Amino acid sequence: MRAVVRISAVVFLLLGLLTLSPSVGSAREVAESEAQVVQRLLPGVVNIFTRKVGESSDTMASGSPDKQVGALKRYYGSGFIIDPDGLILTNRHVIEGARQLIVGFSDGTRALGSVLAASDQCDLALIKVTANHKLTTLTLGDSDKLRVGDPVLAIGNPWGIGTSVSAGIVSGLHRDIKDTSYDDFIQTDAAINHGNSGGPLVNEAGEVIGVNSALYSDISNGGSIGLGFALTSNNAKFVVGRLLRFGRIKAGWIGVMLQDMTPLLSGIFGQPNLTGAVVTAVTPGSPAEKAGLTEGDVIQRIGTATPTDARDAMRQIAMVTVGDPAHLSVWRNGATLTMDVIADEIPGAQSAPNFAPQLNQFVAGGLQLSPISDKDRRMFNLSSEQTGVLVSGVANDVFTGEQTLMPGDLILRVQETAVQTPDDVHRAMEAAWAKGHALVALLVKSKDEQHWIPLRISSMKAPH
């Protein structure tokens, strides 16, 4: 087999030499076109940096954490701007459990972000940032137009090294990776690594046709092996609309379990070429039972949509507004019936926990500081000799835009003054404020690094 590959390569090389002049020009035009598309998109793509209590890595492309058990660890992901006033779309797993969230833009500036809403049934979330100018946005395209083989670009922040672009094709459509009952993923061989989560998958026109969300990887290296998955842009449009309107998806539910209708089952049911989804169970007291649906019914149409399989049918039902009828066309015992099933919300969804963490709101203002306790030393992996003042909370109004403090950081000095207690920090701040300084430089230790961070001091509050 290897010999065949080598021979083929020689043949193609000879053909390329015979047609060198025309092919070079066209290839160059394509490359320039792709470069122009990327340059137009980059201002709308963001890098996301969070700190979370340590958790184990999985197949999701959410970023590789520092290897400190039980400590607050740095994670990174990606996102893209969908509204010029600072609305950013990303994956829920990028922000879930974050104690602080920083958004990095293509021009090198950063801003604190807060979670506006996060879905409880789909791996998507909305972040809000405040900027002093209109931001560049990306456009969500029509993922239904995708074909296997279409070229795509993945943009994101792999391994936290900065915004990167990888190219590939659509390898498959409607993939089920067993994440939810509604799975509808685009598979691509464009390199998607840890940190790409939440970034855009774009087509040749520069439209976002997917949100990079997951990868399958060799456990030994955790990197891309050409099996990346993105949530479709059309599903993202639906989720964003519901999150902005309700703060959650508020998916329609009728109370059925469904199974793909296969050619074999179709023949057994006595009606060749049946398509759709067959009902396998009906929840007692559900809208489906009230409307008369029963096991063995084959749902062939939902409104104007023709579901291709059970997951597609579940997605179409979920998109029905709660309280509105789902107009069903059902095959039963050789006849086609029509029925209206009033959609309800999934039981328990109203009281489901809010996935959006309350970032940057757990402190009244300024910094929340504390001495280093034995528990802190274990959590943050600090030696018994380490001195300084622990940062346990940070408010938005002390952020300067260059760098920021995060929970778990240690303040070692306030300019020339070494500090051991929160009172030391506040006294040094007050002294600088008395001299008319609005900013002060802190020497901060973050993990194994030390750096100076400029900090606004006008909002600092004395400890009680």
What integer pLDDT is reported at residue 362 of this predicted model?
33
Decide whether 252-345 matches 367-456 in CATH topology: yes
The CATH number of 367-456 is which of 2.40.170.20, 1.10.3720.10, 2.40.50.100, 2.30.42.10? Answer: 2.30.42.10
* H/E element, 48: strand 45-53
* Structural domain boundaries in the chain: 2-32, 33-250+349-361, 252-345, 367-456
Max alpha carbon distance in the chain (Å)?
89
Which of 51-60, 215-224, 255-264, 422-431 is predicted with the least confidence, judged by mean pLDDT?
51-60
The CATH classification number of 252-345 equals: 2.30.42.10
pLDDT value at 309 more than 70: yes
pLDDT digits (tens, 9 = 90+) for 35-84: 888 999 999 999 999 877 664 443 344 444 444 444 567 888 999 999 99
Distance, CA of 455 to CA of 439 (rounded, Å): 5
Percent of the chain with pLDDT over 90: 38
Catalytic residue among 64, 114, 171, 197: 197
pLDDT value at 401 more than 60: no
Q: Are strands 277-282 and 389-394 parallel, antiparallel or unpaired?
A: unpaired
Q: Does 166 participate in catalysis according to the annotation?
A: no
> Could you tell me the pLDDT band of residue 20, with boundaries at 50, 70 and 90?
very low
The CATH classification number of 33-250+349-361 equals: 2.40.10.120
Catalytic residue among 64, 114, 123, 297: 123
What integer pLDDT is reported at residue 358 of this predicted model?
41
Distance, CA of 188 to CA of 382 (rounded, Å): 42
Q: Does 119 participate in catalysis according to the annotation?
A: no
What integer pLDDT is reported at residue 359 of this predicted model?
40
Q: Does 197 participate in catalysis according to the annotation?
A: yes
Catalytic residue among 93, 171, 224, 344: 93
Q: What is the mean pLDDT of the chain?
A: 79
What integer pLDDT is reported at residue 227 of this predicted model?
85
- Please state the φ and ψ torsions of residue 383, each to the nearest 5 degrees: -75, 165
> Could you tell me the pLDDT band of residue 24, with boundaries at 50, 70 and 90?
very low
pLDDT digits (tens, 9 = 90+) for 99-158: 778 899 998 888 888 889 998 788 999 999 988 788 999 999 999 999 999 999 999 988
Which of 94-108, 360-374, 434-448 is predicted with the least confidence, judged by mean pLDDT?
360-374
The pTM of this model reads 0.69
The 3-state DSSP class for residue 115 equals: strand
